[in-house]
Amino acid sequence: MVWEPFLLAIGFGLSVSAGIYFAILWPQVEPLDDDELAALDAQGGPVDEPEPADAEPAGETKADAVS
């Protein structure tokens, strides 16, 4: 039996899998620290802070949501 095609297929599959991993999963952006957020806020830069979970949607009150 000839093993070379099987070994080439395994090697190629591993290299493609590693390439996909490094292209998609590796470069995830890490969140900004509090110091970096404060520096951006002081410079007037855009700061996207998530709203608290218990925040009400704009233009809607609790009485409107219940009825």
pLDDT tens digit sequence for 29-57:
677 788 878 887 787 755 555 556 665 65
Does the residue 53 lie in any domain?
no
Does the residue 31 lie in any domain?
yes
**What phi and psi, each to the nearest 5 degrees, are found at residue 56?**
-85, 145
Does the residue 41 lie in any domain?
yes
pLDDT of 5: 93
Does the residue 64 lie in any domain?
no
Q: 13-41: b or e for each residue (b if 16 or more CB lie within 10 Å)?
A: eeeeeeeeeeeeeeeeeeeeeeeeeeeee
Look at the chain and report how many structural domains it folds into: 1
Give the residue numbers spanning the domain of 17. Answer: 1-45
Does the residue 19 lie in any domain?
yes
pLDDT of 11: 97
Strand intervals (E) in 1-67: none
Collect all residues with Cβ–Cβ distance below 8 Å to 49 and sequence separation of at least 6. Answer: 37
Q: What is the pTM of this model?
A: 0.39
